[in-house]
Chains A and B, each alone.
Chain A
Amino acid sequence: EAQVTQNPRYLITVTGKKLTVTCSQNMNHEYMSWYRQDPGLGLRQIYYSMNVEVTDKGDVPEGYKVSRKEKRNFPLILESPSPNQTSLYFCASSLSGRQGLYEQYFGPGTRLTVT
């Protein structure tokens, strides 16, 4: 089954404790991206990757890191989480071609609480 998986689905952590949220897709998609969703603010893009070893900042990259060493994986790293990073996080992937990006496939989301 074609899908995007994220782990963990729920996480409660404390300020300053490094964490990684994993994202994996099995559709051989070139493009992958991370978003955070907050009430009243919609989805905001954190980082995106056009392909392996190619990443770029979205609208809200501060406090986050990403890497794309393999095509299928795109982990999101919070080196020193703070309470303002409490949010619902989504990973997504899509094909990328000459006509641009195609529809995004979203993971189920990771609900992160930083105390």
Chain B
Amino acid sequence: SQQGEEDPQALSIQEGENATMNCSYKTSINNLQWYRQNSGRGLVHLILIRSNEREKHSGRLRVTLDTSKKSSSLLITASRAADTASYFCATLNAGGTSYGKLTFGQGTILTVHP
């Protein structure tokens, strides 16, 4: 499996419900980033969490990072139809010769029904 693999691949919920997406990775990381993409458009940055952090919040978003399990989760609370999009995690390698290499997962497609 690839670095930065998301789960589930697709998620369908009703407005007002919470949405949780998970990301797993394999190598040591410097940071992990979550992005959102609306239908073929450019990606928009949501949250960056560093390897020494365990949790970060931004509005209705909460990201956790467990470096021992090499996993992260993105929680969107009280979802809205406008949250419908694809969500990607991306990991930045910790260092060495491949520092600067950013690896994206395949994404989770979130559909929020009004």
The residues of A with any CB-CB pair to B shorter than 8 Å are 4, 31, 33, 35, 40-45, 48, 50, 56, 58-59, 88, 90, 92, 96, 99-109
Contact = CB atoms under 8 A, between A and B. Distances in A.
Contacts of A31: 100
A106 B45 CA distance: 9
A49 B106 CA distance: 23
A46 B106 CA distance: 16
B18 to A, nearest CB: 24
If over half of B's interface residues share one DSSP class (helix, strand or loop), that class is named, otherwise mixed; here it is: strand
Interface in B84-114: 88, 90, 92, 98, 100-107
Interface of B: 2, 30-31, 33, 35, 40-45, 48, 50, 88, 90, 92, 98, 100-107
Query: Which 7 pairs between the two chains have the least Cβ-Cβ distance?
Result: A42-B106, A106-B42, A103-B45, A43-B104, A100-B30, A106-B43, A108-B42
Interface centre among B31, B43, B103 (most CB of A within 10 A): B43
A103 B56 CA distance: 14
B25 to A, nearest CB: 13
Nearest to B48: A103
A101 B42 contact: no
Contacts of B33: 103-104
Contacts of A4: 42
Contacts of A40: 106
Contact of A48 (B2, B100, B107): B100
13 contacts: A42-B105, A43-B43, A45-B101, A48-B101, A59-B101, A90-B42, A100-B30, A100-B50, A104-B43, A104-B45, A104-B102, A105-B45, A108-B42
A108 to B, nearest CB: 5
B102 A45 contact: yes
Contacts of B88: 42-43
